Structures are given as structure tokens and as C-alpha cells.
Amino acid sequence: MKNFAKGPLNESIYAAAAQVLLGLALLIWPALSGRVLCYGVAALCLLYGVYRTVLYFTHDPVLAMLQHDLAAGLLGIGAGIVLVARPTPIVSLLPTLFGLLLFVGGAFTAQIAFDLHRMEEERWFVPLIAAAVLAALGGVILWYPFATAVLLMRFIGISLILQGVGGFVFSRLLAKRRLLYYPPEE
């Protein structure tokens, strides 16, 4: 039971690192073509899809079922194929998709805050503040058009960096909390 949360915790740290890297790329190279971004995301989706599909066939059947490895793998592969086959319509949806991504990230971060509060963590309000910031950034992306695509790409980059750093910090807080329940074996 001690290793039950280790896999999802590591995956959330890797996802946070990927968000920070993507955010930095958009911040440093804002003129990065939406098509190149689309192909990069497609490659990540395909890799993730193949990874989760392989996990489905190599994991214990009960664990694979509980983690929905096959469904996640097929969705990742399908999303990657769609992104490669039809990048132009997807590029036009990027601001909306990123805005929604930030809202979803804010919702998950809010749950983390309330979970930490329920576990009587002293700094539970920090993720709650981050959730409000993520939701506000998502709202700005969705509701206020920008004069240039470069500004939008930089804004999306900053938003992804914030979400990735927040995800990493919250994963570390949860890992610390988990160690209190499951001390390391000697």
C-alpha cells in the first residue's frame, strides 16, 4: 500500500515539469508557430498514449483497471493523431483550449487545497490562492482578445509556468504529507 500513490505522484511531477518547459518555450520564443506547437503537443500525446497503453498490458490487471491505463492510452494516441492530421483548426482553438486548461487546473488545485485543509496542513490556503490565480488567468485568456499573437503566446507561457510550478509545489506538499502516513522503511 505504501507505493500506491508513488506512481501518480511522480506522474504529476513530470506533468508539472512539462508545463514549465512548454511555458518557457512560449515565453522565450513567442513567435513559435502554432503549427509547431501543435506538432509538439501531438508528439507528447502520442508518447503518453503509447506509454499508458504499454502500462495496461504490463501492469497487474487490477491496477491497470483502476488507473484506466488503456483508455488513457487510446485517448492520448487519438489526440495525437488528430493534432497531426488537422493542426489548422486546432491552432485556432488554442486560446480557448489553454483557457479551459487553466480553469481545469484551477479546479484540481482547489481540490488539493481543500484536501490539505482536511488533513490539517497549515499552508492549505496557498494552493487555494494559486487556484484563484489560475482561474483568473484562464478567464483573461478566454474573455479578452489580444492585439497580437505574440502577446497571447507569452501570456500562455507565463500561465503554464505558474501552473507547472504550482503543480510541482503541491505534489511536494502531498509527498511530504504522505510520508507522515507511511514513514520510509528501514
- 85, 45 contact by CB (below 8 A): no
Q: What is the pLDDT of residues 85-122, one digit of tens each?
A: 988 777 777 777 778 888 888 898 899 889 889 988 88
- Dihedral of the CA atoms 137, 142, 144, 148 (nearest 10)? 90
Domain contains 1: no
Split into its structural domains, the chain has a count of 1
Give the rounded distance of the alpha carbon of 101 from its chain centre. Answer: 8
Q: What is the pLDDT of residues 122-135, one digit of tens each?
A: 888 988 998 999 89
Domain contains 62: yes
Residue type, 149: A
Domain span including residue 53? 6-180
